[in-house]
Chains A and B, each alone.
Chain A
Amino acid sequence: MKKILYKVVAILVLTATISACSSDNDDQASGSGKITLEFDNAFGSNDLILQTQGNKTSNNEILKITTVKYIVSNVVLTKADGTIFTYPKEKSYFIADESTKAGQDFELSDIPAGDYVKVKFGIGVDKAQWQLGATGQGDFLAQAQAAGMLWNWTAGYKFFALEGNFTSPTVTTAVPFMIHTGQTGTDYNYTEVTLDFPTKALVRTNINPDVHIITDLSKILDGPNKIKLTDYNTSGMGAMIMGGAALPLITANVATMFRVDHVHND
């Protein structure tokens, strides 16, 4: 009997040893793969639902949002060892649009294999790019025009657009609002965001990670700068914020509205 007991113990120990050794995977990363940046628009803790959902701000304004668009640009990925990969600039302009699937997932190809830990991107089109002139914009100019993200060439791109209607304690009948950021005579209003990944994104020839980014639109009005739409509804016809001193404040808020919720390594 004792012999049998020893055997049982030996098997258990062996089992534990085998299983303890089996989970390492140090693939030496080589080649390249793809990575997808998924922009999932939200309002506070809720997923954003266009048109129907009332979204409440800290100033008790209730927003029904019809349009959310923003230009995502100049993507830079950083590996765990600190190596930086700058996505080719000519491919690095995207228009996020809540109303289409294509406006939520941006697939970046030919990414060198590696373990990535953070991403940096811009919201808007950087000044250097704009200064290349209309002919220097490639296809993106037409794309932005089609999406309504260009005022005109001299006025420039709209970097971020949020539209809908709202009510407040003093505005009891819903009126429209439009928030458009872009350059003004005094401010350029392009901003960049750096986000750490909660889990490494393992880019391999056979693993194409999906980085799930949540864009919390409540931050536009309830970020570091508090914005009250009611204050801009001076005519009673709606709040239109498209220039002036409000844009740098909103731009500062834009920079705080992104976070990476999780990374799929599939």
Chain B
Amino acid sequence: MKKIIVLSLVLVCNLTFGITVKDSISSFTFQRMAMMEDFDCDACGCSASGGSMGFSSMLNTNFVGVRYFHQSYTSRDGIFANSPWIDENFNTVQAWARIPVSKRIQISALVPYHFHNRTLETGTESISGLGDISVMGLYTIFETQKDSAVFTHKIELGGGVKMPTGKFNEANNLGTVNKSFQLGTGSWDYLLVSEYVIKRKNLGLNTMLNYVIKTENDQKYQYGNQFNYAGTFFYLFDLPSVQLVPQLGFAGEVYATNKQHGLDLPNTAGDILFGKFGLEVGKDKFSVGVNAMLPINQNLSRGAMEANYRWSVNLNYTL
């Protein structure tokens, strides 16, 4: 479940900024020129909880920003065909920043705050609080330098850590199918990210792959590792007063099986593919973005959990 949640988070992340969900996929924001910023979402274990991380940008721009993202799931609360389906809403507000420390190296940090709820037959259950903070470094291994080039390329690799600052409560994983109704995974998790952006004039394609290695938390629960991928086309309309960047793409998440005391937990693996679309509007030092993700294909918890949609809105300020 957590894996699923993580995946979901990743997906969300991707949509939103490219990344709202757990490990995010990448998303963009842009400022001035089209900049893309990716983030990873960390879901708490997986999809649901949602911390996300942002990690890259097309421009060497420093920024700080705030984004809200929402994830909607429906999960079966029980193991039977007639067990009730319950709605789960995962809400996250996150502050994030990306700061270049040199021409080729950037540091990105993401601080999420979650407020989740789900409607059980016995009433509504809510959790809220700080999520898992992620910090990562990105290194630009290649970037087209010539302005005259028809195609420009940029490749970044990076790694980081997600800290167990969000509370993991084992009780939230009992009984119900969705194992991501958590504020954090409770574990130190490690992120490996890569991003490739190719542009020709005003049209670009951002592709992202990342992998999250999750470790066992102090309650001996371990969310499954997560693989995230995304591809997003974007186009920059550079108007006199504003820049508009519509985006269209896909994002996917694959979760491995969760473990407890080192033993595989059944029906916790999964995968999901989203279509995503969004629009970023930039003016002066500010940019505002709206993104949405809709599932195209999913297999979470062997069908006992369904992602409905994710959407996000963000505001960034270029430093």
A residues neighboring B (CB under 8 Å): 1, 4-5, 8, 11-12, 15-16, 18-19, 22-25, 42, 44-47, 49, 53, 198-200, 202, 207, 212, 214, 261-262, 264-266
Do B262 and A25 have beta carbons less than 8 Å apart?
yes
In B262-276, which residues have CB < 8 Å from any A CB? 262-266
Do B215 and A22 have beta carbons less than 8 Å apart?
yes
Q: A8-B159, A24-B262 are in contact. List 15 more A-B contacts (CB 8 A).
A: A8-B157, A15-B159, A16-B213, A19-B189, A22-B215, A23-B262, A25-B216, A25-B261, A45-B80, A47-B80, A53-B82, A202-B263, A261-B79, A262-B266, A264-B174
How many B residues face the partner with a CB closer than 8 A? 36
Do B139 and A47 have beta carbons less than 8 Å apart?
no
Give the chain A neighbours of B174 by CB distance below 8 A.
264, 266
Asked, given contacts A19-B213, A199-B263, whether A42 binds B80 with beta carbons under 8 Å apart, the answer is yes
Give the chain B neighbours of A12 by CB distance below 8 A.
159, 192
Do B213 and A15 have beta carbons less than 8 Å apart?
yes
Do B104 and A1 have beta carbons less than 8 Å apart?
yes
Give the chain B neighbours of A266 by CB distance below 8 A.
170, 174
Do A198 and B215 have beta carbons less than 8 Å apart?
no
Do A4 and B222 have beta carbons less than 8 Å apart?
no
Answer whether residue B54 sits at the interface, using C-beta atoms and an 8 A cutoff: no
Asked, given contacts A4-B139, A8-B158, A46-B82, whether A23 binds B266 with beta carbons under 8 Å apart, the answer is no
Do B80 and A4 have beta carbons less than 8 Å apart?
no
Q: List 5 A-B contacts (CB under 8 A).
A: A15-B159, A53-B82, A199-B266, A214-B79, A264-B174
Cβ of B267 to closest chain A Cβ, rounded Å: 8
Give the chain A neighbours of B82 by CB distance below 8 A.
45-47, 49, 53
Asked, given contacts A12-B159, A46-B80, whether A19 binds B139 with beta carbons under 8 Å apart, the answer is no
Do B139 and A8 have beta carbons less than 8 Å apart?
yes
Question: When chains A and B are docked, how far (Å) is the Cα of A44 from the Cα of B82?
Answer: 10
Do B264 and A199 have beta carbons less than 8 Å apart?
yes
B residues neighboring A (CB under 8 Å): 78-83, 102, 104-105, 137, 139, 141, 157-159, 161, 170, 174, 188-190, 192, 213-216, 220, 222, 259-266
CB < 8 Å neighbour of B266 from A4, A25, A198: A198
Residue of A nearest to B170 (CB): A266
Residue of A nearest to B139 (CB): A8
Asked, given contacts A24-B262, A199-B264, A199-B265, whether A5 binds B80 with beta carbons under 8 Å apart, the answer is no
Do B80 and A25 have beta carbons less than 8 Å apart?
no
Cβ of A253 to closest chain B Cβ, rounded Å: 21
Question: When chains A and B are docked, how far (Å) is the Cα of A32 from the Cα of B213?
Answer: 34
Do B104 and A4 have beta carbons less than 8 Å apart?
yes
Give the chain B neighbours of A23 by CB distance below 8 A.
215-216, 222, 259, 262
Residue of A nearest to B83 (CB): A47
Asked, given contacts A8-B159, A15-B190, whether A200 binds B263 with beta carbons under 8 Å apart, the answer is yes
Do B81 and A46 have beta carbons less than 8 Å apart?
yes
Cβ of B152 to closest chain A Cβ, rounded Å: 19
Cβ of B222 to closest chain A Cβ, rounded Å: 6
Cβ of B119 to closest chain A Cβ, rounded Å: 19
Residue of B nearest to A16 (CB): B213
Cβ of B231 to closest chain A Cβ, rounded Å: 23
Question: When chains A and B are docked, how far (Å) is the Cα of A260 from the Cα of B79?
Answer: 12
Cβ of B263 to closest chain A Cβ, rounded Å: 5
Give the chain A neighbours of B264 by CB distance below 8 A.
199
Question: When chains A and B are docked, how far (Å) is the Cα of A22 from the Cα of B222?
Answer: 11
Give the chain A neighbours of B216 by CB distance below 8 A.
22-23, 25
Top 9 A-B residue pairs of the complex, sorted by shortest distance between their CB atoms:
A45-B81, A47-B80, A46-B82, A15-B190, A12-B159, A19-B213, A8-B139, A22-B215, A19-B215
Residue of B nearest to A46 (CB): B82
Question: When chains A and B are docked, how far (Å) is the Cα of A248 from the Cα of B266?
Answer: 36
Cβ of A98 to closest chain B Cβ, rounded Å: 14
